[in-house]
Amino acid sequence: MSERPRITVVGAGNVGATCAQVLAQRDYADVVLVDIKEGLPQGKALDIDQMGAVLGYEPNVSGSNGYGESAGSDVVVITAGLPRSPGMSRDDLVQTNEKIVGSVTNEVVSASPDAILIVVSNPLDAMCHVAKNVSGWPKERVCGMAGILDTARFSSFIAWDTGSSVKDVTAMVLGGHGDQMVPVVSHTSVGGVPLRKLVPEDRIQAMVQRTAKGGGELVELLGTSAWYAPGAAAAQMVDAIMLDEKRVLPCTAYLEGEYGIDGLYMGVPVKLGANGIEGIVELDLSDDEQQALQASAGAVREVVGVLST
């Protein structure tokens, strides 16, 4: 029996499978891929395992239609739920995915009572509330993946616009995971040089707008939600927790007064380590950014208000 730690990814669709693939390549844990569709998680797990022979990692991904194999997981990533289709708002997804995420969370709590939960299902901020309410777990152990993805999109656009390496871009996107997300331009730099010294304001605002609508841009092109960057972003959060990296990453966390927001899941910079969310980092925001964050909070509250619980 393996002594490696265990990570479970619920939902063997494109995002879940990509997350499992990235984690398999990191090669420090066993990964269990769970999905209700017979054959799907088993087949994707087998395929990822066989890739290990080519890329040089140990084949330790298994697929399951139940939660028995996932028991005792350290981290559980929930990607289950319907993806967006063209023309569908995130809010349309609320009631359908509330039922799915609620039932998954119940299963996870039974099988892995000490796990840390990372929610990826949309609408992200509202689904974090569902997972927290259903699990009854402390806020430190229930968080969401959105900010890393939004920041990755913003960073990509900045790198292309400035002709720079994406490795030298430092950016941060806060707020709800929707059209009212808040790219924090005042804390964005390339190689330590503030973005506003490199790029005129109109080009910055174009990048900000493209970032906010980044998910929609991909839905229009693909006919469904993106998966490579979201899967990798979820895996980065797993790494930070499992390897106790104490990374400061933008994640969806439950706020109790931070940034002047109370009782709401919002995307903010957090310190992510073995205990989950080990601290919330409060940036000094410009007045415009603070106003935009409050507006984003209002939009999230509206979606959360649609929940039945």
Please give the helix or strand (H or E) that residue 208 lies within, else none. helix 201-212
Hey, which residues does 7 pair with through a beta bridge?
31, 75
Which residues are within 8 A (CB) of 307 and not within 5 positions of it... i.e. 6 or more apart?
A: 94, 98, 126, 129, 130
E strands along the chain, which residues? Answer: 6-10, 30-34, 61-64, 75-78, 116-119, 142-144, 169-170, 173-174, 182-183, 189-190, 193-194, 247-256, 262-273, 276-280
- CA 249 vs. chain centroid, Å, equals 11
Pairwise CA distance, residues 282 & 268, whole Å:
8
Catalytic residue among 44, 177, 247, 271: 177
Identity at 225, one-letter amino acid code = S
187 in active site: no
Pairwise CA distance, residues 72 & 90, whole Å:
32
Which pair of tokens denotes residue 236? 């980065």
Calculated CA dihedral for residues 302, 237, 86, 210, nearest 10 degrees:
90
Hey, which residues does 34 pair with through a beta bridge?
10, 64
Catalytic residues: 177
